[in-house]
Structure 1
């Protein structure tokens, strides 16, 4: 397995932390709650979404033959998107006002439904998260009627409870229709505002939706959206930086040239327009990297606080450097984080606790870190050694890969799955485990093995048992009507191979 990509102990620590956050009870946002959005209501939806995308990368690249952890954790994250804490922010945002449209004299009545129009900063993420799940697992879970049900429970205002009922098919169709209605110039977030970064998620959601359902939404949107992008000047030709936003009614572009805007847009645009992002990245690197490593961006956060989005610049640009394959920048930024952001291990989970101490010291080091960066962006960067999202969207699993054997029932507290894949040429299933916080005896299952065949199980090259229906041999057992199981000592790192016998 030496040529297969492997997760490190730090990688697994980040993944366990994501699993911990995703598994918290509804309404428990402990360790979350980024305030970079500056709306006083929190911005957890971005943490949920970016953690789900990180898991998609892990699933696709590192552990295609081990699915239960990433799949269940994604489902927990998607489920949290239906909580009122997340989507009810739209009630106020839908009303607009001079903040988003200088020509709007009065606030609109607005509307509660978070899906029916605009709000791409929410429904674009919901689309991408759910379509990613379907593209990987083909369960149909989110394509069933009512899969996305938003319950408004009138208690202090309103005319009574209301349910807004959708599924993945509805969301994809609505998003596509809004691209068409906008002349492919982008779906609005708040009324009158188009953000380039938020539209990346909608495009990628349509890509995965097309792969799962055979539609042509993304195939229509991508070339026309890119043409509008160039026509409107969403990326500055001189600087290579992306705009922050556009006012639609006034047709006014607001440039940015910031690491958060360039990073966020570039990470995900790279998945559908790799050559374009690669062509402008060197200029963005020249603009941002030295300042980030010298604490200058942290200084701006501390002393100016405008925009508060500067808080996520470090994480966004680190994740961009990772996606474009800039190993030197990625490693330098991750090293900075490990020196300054107090990496903390708790029961096998690794995270960076939030710190609001943004002022850099005399050496240009700051301990300030926002939780979106800490919980999602830095793990995303560490786990992505280049082209992670490009691969996820352009090299989808085939039906044969989904039908291949895979491992299951692995207790993450006992062992972390560093790599898991099926080699169709060698007819062998590979698994690498690293000891977890409660390392010891472990029993794992294997699913979708051919019951008419027999298999040998090896640990670090040495045979530890054979699998055949109705028999037990060494560490391996395959009872009639049950999944085959293997019992091992996971107290030390080891690699396992389950190979078909001739």
Structure 2
């Protein structure tokens, strides 16, 4: 998970990798494997717990002093503070809020809503005046974020909390948020979204890449879908090319030259010639790029494409990654190793950052069209989960992939499909919980069946041996 920038300040930092892993897991659970409660809850819990490690948030003590990059008029550094969520730092606190709100919604679990459940230990060894502890929970974290929004005069997590609590915090916050975006000119249908705003100066910094536009749109689709979709073609032009059926992501300087040529009347030219000329421009001018790190554009773009259901572009870019960016399997998981080289000699994409390779590409493969939007509009409620059977006790250490895990309410049946992936026999055991009273039968595609008498709320234990590379179906159904 090592990042380009060693102090965790840049865009592929631990916090972005961990949060995106949690969102990918949440999407997979909600849309693909809704019955696999026990598979996803410990996974997302561990990701949240890692977000509380000091190596994830300790950067803030130095970053809180600010600097001339974001505050050009700064003359004296501010007095630093270690608490990573009390003020500013929304790119940490906002992700932690969404991760814990997602956890509560998916599992009807108040673990991170309890006082002190989000505690930060600031304890440098050789400097400082002694350890400090900052104590929060999901709701006090939300209040800190809202207070900071109000202080600066200007969401998804708040909406999930509203669904859980029966409140209406999110609509009020969203109204102010939209007004602030419009006032500052941060987003547009026909131009890239601004990169960021210097708060004191009120200056919005123009985009140099599609990255922030893609990243924002991937989540803004939840509450501003028409706007996001209306701008897609304009935003993607030049950055995503499809020439003779060959889809590629282009370097920002290549894309900028391509877009400039179109704006100057090049729309009638052959797209392959436009791309060739844009790449020649990049070759001649890439030495002018002085910023030492590369934005994780690849990951942002595939997240965006997956949310909008742009399958041609998404499948094309993922196919390019599989062919050219060293896909690597380790312990049943797929990732793309870091490569700091930006492009090859033909100006084709070669860069791979830890955010994209460890988290965002996986996110894009697990997401479905409108995945975030549908989860935003129809979060699981306490009542829904109270009446749904689920699987517990099966986790990623069992040596099997879970291909299916669904509860059919109408048929009173739970269906699970497992496949052994390591080439070794795997012994698996899990429990089906929250079953109604009655007679239940467990069937497997191996030809076995067992019957169980269940009292309301009890569980049925399932044990099986899955042979090397074998795929096994389990059906747990209530007898009529």
TM-score, normalising length from structure 1?
0.82
Shift of 1:314: 1.3
Q: How does 1:430-449 map to 2 (within 5 A)?
A: 430-437=415-422, 438-449=424-435
1:349 maps onto 2:333 in alignment: yes
- Change in CA separation of 1:39 and 1:223 when aligned onto 2, cut-off 3 Å: closer
Who is 2:262 aligned against? none
Contact 2:35 2:407 in 1 (8 A): yes
Question: Following the alignment from structure 1 to structure 2, what is the Cα–Cα distance between the partners of residues 94 and 351?
Answer: 33
TM-score, normalising length from structure 2?
0.85
Q: How does 1:264-303 map to 2 (within 5 A)?
A: 264-290=215-241, 293=248, 295-297=250-252
Shift of 1:243: 0.5
Who is 2:196 aligned against? 245
1:70 maps onto 2:40 in alignment: yes
Who is 1:132 aligned against? 102
Matching residue within 355, 374, 399 for 1:391: 374
Matching residue within 331, 334, 338 for 2:322: 338
Who is 1:367 aligned against? 350
- Change in CA separation of 1:47 and 1:298 when aligned onto 2, cut-off 3 Å: farther
Shift of 1:178: 2.1
For structure 1, the 5+ residue unaligned runs are: 1-30, 185-202, 471-479
Question: Aligned residues, how many?
Answer: 442
Who is 2:414 aligned against? 429
Who is 2:475 aligned against? 497
Q: How does 1:30-429 map to 2 (within 5 A)?
A: 31-35=1-5, 39=9, 43-184=13-154, 203-239=155-191, 241-290=192-241, 293=248, 295-297=250-252, 305=289, 307=291, 310-362=294-346, 364-403=347-386, 404-412=388-396, 413-429=398-414
SS of corresponding position for 2:474? strand
Shift of 1:238: 3.6
Provide Cα deviations, 1:218-275, integer angstroms capped at 9, x if missing partner: 1111122112212221114542x11101112211111105121111111111122111
Who is 1:486 aligned against? 462
Question: Following the alignment from structure 1 to structure 2, what is the Cα–Cα distance between the partners of residues 36 and 156?
Answer: 20
Question: Following the alignment from structure 1 to structure 2, what is the Cα–Cα distance between the partners of residues 153 and 333?
Answer: 44
Provide Cα deviations, 1:341-381, integer angstroms capped at 9, x if missing partner: 1111123221111122323243x544321110001110011
Contact 2:440 2:477 in 1 (8 A): yes
Question: Following the alignment from structure 2 to structure 1, what is the Cα–Cα distance between the partners of residues 127 and 479?
Answer: 68
- Change in CA separation of 1:411 and 1:244 when aligned onto 2, cut-off 3 Å: closer
- Change in CA separation of 1:436 and 1:461 when aligned onto 2, cut-off 3 Å: closer
- Change in CA separation of 1:339 and 1:242 when aligned onto 2, cut-off 3 Å: same
Question: Following the alignment from structure 2 to structure 1, what is the Cα–Cα distance between the partners of residues 100 and 8?
Answer: 27
Contact 1:34 1:372 in 2 (8 A): no
Provide Cα deviations, 1:302-322, integer angstroms capped at 9, x if missing partner: 855555564411111111011
Provide Cα deviations, 1:314-339, integer angstroms capped at 9, x if missing partner: 11111101100100011011001101
Contact 1:36 1:309 in 2 (8 A): no
Question: Following the alignment from structure 2 to structure 1, what is the Cα–Cα distance between the partners of residues 320 and 90?
Answer: 33
Question: Following the alignment from structure 1 to structure 2, what is the Cα–Cα distance between the partners of residues 481 and 210?
Answer: 28
Question: Following the alignment from structure 2 to structure 1, what is the Cα–Cα distance between the partners of residues 477 and 378?
Answer: 26
- Change in CA separation of 1:34 and 1:376 when aligned onto 2, cut-off 3 Å: farther
Shift of 1:91: 0.9
Contact 1:91 1:112 in 2 (8 A): yes
Shift of 1:142: 0.8
Question: Following the alignment from structure 2 to structure 1, what is the Cα–Cα distance between the partners of residues 87 and 57?
Answer: 13
- Change in CA separation of 1:266 and 1:439 when aligned onto 2, cut-off 3 Å: farther
- Change in CA separation of 1:212 and 1:439 when aligned onto 2, cut-off 3 Å: farther
Shift of 1:41: 11
Who is 1:21 aligned against? none
Question: Following the alignment from structure 2 to structure 1, what is the Cα–Cα distance between the partners of residues 37 and 4?
Answer: 29
Q: How does 1:459-470 map to 2 (within 5 A)?
A: 459-460=444-445, 464-469=449-454
Question: Following the alignment from structure 2 to structure 1, what is the Cα–Cα distance between the partners of residues 73 and 3?
Answer: 33
SS of corresponding position for 1:468? strand
SS of corresponding position for 1:290? strand
SS of corresponding position for 1:293? strand
- Change in CA separation of 1:493 and 1:298 when aligned onto 2, cut-off 3 Å: farther
Superposition CA RMSD, Å: 2.7
